[in-house]
Amino acid sequence: MVEPPRVDVPEQPLLILGTHFFAPEVLDLISETPGFRVDGFVENLDRERTLEPVAGLPVHWIDDVAPFGATHRAVCALGTTTRSRIVEEAAAHGLGFSTIVHPLARVSTRSTLGEGTIASVGVIVAVNTRIGRHVILNRGALVGHDTVVGDYVTVGPGANVAGLCTVGEGAYIAMGAVVLDRVEIGAGAVVGAGAVVTKDVPPNVQVVGVPARIVKENVAG
């Protein structure tokens, strides 16, 4: 039996924004996602972190990445919703952004993911859902149908956001949390690990518990 000729998939070279614990995990995800190749990391807070490689790859200072703008794209590997700072700095230096969907994630063809978003292993995004820019859908996160997720949101491992929900920009939904259908999570709000959200959550508050209740105000993702 003659095997069909192998077709090489062109690889988009990438830089990963961030150098801390989540960065090697994103590298691992990308290494299993056809069409991409990571060439290095980018740091924007501590220049000394550029002195040592991460996972064998070089670390570039944010002000030095402009020459990569013509060839490379970026994806952000900061777990906090304050990642907008390094994303905006990278964009100002001419870097565009790629969307990463691991082969073991399932995203409906009738849904959309914004630039820079990461859908990790086991993620499911149901039909007619809009995921914003630079969103992190961590391991096993579930997002239901007809839900809108704003920019810079983090949905933690195993979290379950039901259908017809709205999650505001920069909100953080922690590991194992459950958001029931037709609930709105305000911008910058934090849903604690394991919480069950049964009613709307105002912007910039932290909720915990079953059912979730407000325990802190004036938070920012």
Active-site residue (options: 60, 102, 134, 145): 145
Residue 40 near residue 16, CB atoms below 8 Å: yes
**Alpha-carbon gap, residue 127 to 154, rounded angstroms:** 20
Provide the token pair at 197: 């959200």
Q: Does the active-site annotation cover 93?
A: no
CA angle, 74 as apex, 149 and 81 as ends, to 5°? Answer: 40
Give the number of other CB atoms < 10 A from CB of residue 47: 12
Residue 15 near residue 38, CB atoms below 8 Å: yes
Catalytic positions, please? Answer: 145
